[in-house]
């Protein structure tokens, strides 16, 4: 699997465009792979014949792992032997020092053992003359020492039974015939409970058995809940967490538990904005473009951010700095069949209303077709999510990692509204702004949201800034 860039470490094989036996050329598309950001086409780096496909569609492969075998004309025969006299041992043959050569380094030295042989009973210490090597040690240098297995120990008739049944033989359990490591109070506790410490695995420092280990050993495992029986054809369905869903989950968890979120809400009378949209649609400049309310929101965000730069910033904890971005790279959350993606409109603050409308139409079509390049899904500085298209009034959006704020736009609908002291029916929209309180103070966040609302309520306000 090649490195597809953008810091990605794995990708999923979506489909193969070739099969074993096919002839491929350089840069011919051989597969489609799905990363955490997009579906991309994978070209062949070689010309030759496809020998084998090493990964099935649907399998996630880490970068650097082989996924296909391409036999080229320059490939050497697989059974070609190394020239005589070349250094090193063949794989699987004994090399210098009696070691077995492996793919990396060497295996263990053959015929050696580092354990000192057990002294036989009745042989006094120091029986060998000074300077002489004991015969047992000399033999151990060339052959493994034969250690006589210990005689089985019969359990004492008076030994108490451990919880859950009779005490097992001393040679079973994690300790075998070794003495378990435990402090005297723990040993007394085990005796009182009838627990054989040789059956208990220690979790303390150096493998020492603790009180918690003994209590866990005596606690019976919880009973499994009874299975839930559903009507035929209504079984649960499991789906692997991968691709866009996996990346979105990791990003949202990281943001929610790293950035202290504050969310504020504002109801806005957008009657004047929609009237302006209707007038512009009849003009020549906007006649061939899909001019949506979201384009006006995007323009309002770009203008308001110039008055509150902290909403277009990043908290760099590693450097101990706040990065105030010189450009507004505006992310637009888009729902696609593959999940939620957030493509970016680069330098959105330099675009006029027509440019923003064109950018929104292009990125939305590209995202829904699944062809958004990975480079367009990173590097955002502010995000807008339009939950109103689903008929939702408002929400509490989660900030994208690396950004300072996100604006949710609710449904636009007629509502009763007070105008000049009189009740009237107006077109109203709910806005909700979530911001990182490390970067944006409450006063700054409130002023930014109020500025966006003022521009949408009366677009002519922009002429006064």
72 neighbors 46 (Cβ within 8 angstroms)? yes
Tell me which H or E stretch contains 316.
strand 313-316
Task: Give the C-alpha separation, 329 to 325, whole Å.
Answer: 9
Q: What is the dihedral of CA 26, 28, 30, 35, to 10 degrees?
A: 100
Task: Give the C-alpha separation, 376 to 246, whole Å.
Answer: 18
Look up 261 and say whether it is catalytic.
no
Task: Give the C-alpha separation, 247 to 378, whole Å.
Answer: 12
Q: What is the dihedral of CA 173, 174, 179, 181, to 10 degrees?
A: -130
Task: Give the C-alpha separation, 332 to 345, whole Å.
Answer: 8
Which is it for strands 382-386 and 405-419: parallel, antiparallel or unpaired? parallel
Instruction: Kindly give the residue spans of alpha helices, DSSP state H, lying in 386-432.
Output: none
Task: Give the C-alpha separation, 347 to 352, whole Å.
Answer: 11
Burial class (CB in 10 A: 0-12, 13-18, 19+), 214: buried
Helix (H) and strand (E) counts in the chain = 8, 19
261 neighbors 436 (Cβ within 8 angstroms)? yes
Give the closest residue to 68 by CA, choosing from 11, 110, 16, 115. Answer: 16
Task: Give the C-alpha separation, 302 to 435, whole Å.
Answer: 16
108 neighbors 99 (Cβ within 8 angstroms)? yes
**DSSP per residue, 377-389:** GS--SEEEEEGGG
Task: Give the C-alpha separation, 14 to 305, whole Å.
Answer: 40
Q: Collapsing DSSP states into helix, strand and coil, what is residue 419? A: strand
Catalytic residue, from 261, 325, 329, 437: name it.
Answer: 437
Q: What separation, in Å, do the N-terminal and C-terminal C-alpha atoms of the chain show? A: 52
392 neighbors 227 (Cβ within 8 angstroms)? no
- Which residues are designated catalytic? 437
């Amino acid at each position: 699997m090649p490195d597809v860039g953008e810091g990605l470490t794995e990708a999923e094989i979506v489909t193969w465009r070739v099969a074993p036996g096919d002839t491929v050329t350089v840069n011919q598309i051989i597969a489609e792979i799905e990363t955490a950001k997009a579906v991309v086409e994978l070209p062949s780096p070689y010309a030759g014949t496809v020998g084998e496909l090493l990964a099935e569609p649907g399998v996630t492969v880490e970068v650097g792992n082989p996924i296909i075998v391409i036999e080229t004309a320059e490939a050497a025969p697989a059974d070609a032997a190394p020239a005589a006299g070349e250094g090193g041992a063949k794989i699987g043959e004994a090399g210098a020092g009696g070691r077995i050569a492996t793919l990396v380094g060497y295996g263990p030295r053959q015929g050696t053992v580092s354990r000192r042989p057990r002294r036989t009973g009745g042989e006094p210490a120091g029986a060998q003359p000074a300077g002489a090597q004991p015969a047992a040690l000399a033999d151990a240098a060339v052959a493994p020492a034969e250690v006589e297995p210990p005689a089985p120990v019969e359990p004492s008739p008076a030994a108490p039974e451990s919880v859950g049944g009779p005490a097992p033989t001393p040679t079973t359990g994690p300790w075998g015939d070794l003495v378990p490591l435990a402090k005297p109070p723990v040993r007394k506790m085990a005796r009182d409970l009838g627990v054989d410490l040789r059956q208990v695995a220690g979790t303390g420092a150096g493998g020492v058995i603790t009180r918690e280990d003994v209590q866990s050993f005596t606690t019976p495992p919880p009973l499994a809940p009874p299975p839930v029986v559903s009507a035929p054809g209504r079984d649960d369905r499991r789906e692997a967490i991968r691709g866009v869903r996996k990346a979105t989950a990791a990003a949202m968890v990281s943001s929610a538990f790293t950035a202290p979120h504050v969310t504020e809400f504002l109801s806005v009378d957008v009657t004047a904005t929609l009237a302006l949209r209707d007038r512009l649609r009849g003009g020549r400049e906007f006649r061939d473009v899909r001019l949506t309310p979201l384009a006006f929101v995007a323009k309002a965000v770009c203008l308001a951010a110039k008055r509150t730069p902290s909403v277009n910033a990043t908290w760099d904890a590693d450097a101990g700095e706040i990065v105030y971005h010189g450009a507004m790279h505006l992310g637009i959350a888009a729902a696609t069949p593959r999940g939620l993606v957030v493509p970016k409109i680069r330098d959105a603050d330099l675009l006029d209303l027509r440019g923003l409308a064109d950018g929104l139409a292009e990125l939305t079509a590209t995202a829904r077709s699944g062809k958004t390049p990975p480079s367009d899904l990173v590097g955002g500085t502010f995000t807008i999510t339009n939950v109103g298209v689903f008929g939702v009034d408002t929400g509490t959006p989660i900030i994208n990692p690396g950004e300072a704020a996100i604006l949710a736009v609710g449904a636009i609908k007629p509502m009763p509204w007070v105008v000049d002291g009189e009740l009237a029916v107006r077109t109203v929209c709910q806005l909700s702004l979530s911001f990182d309180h490390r970067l944006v103070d409450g006063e700054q966040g409130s002023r930014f949201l109020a500025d966006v609302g003022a521009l949408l309520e009366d677009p002519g306000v922009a002429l006064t800034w």
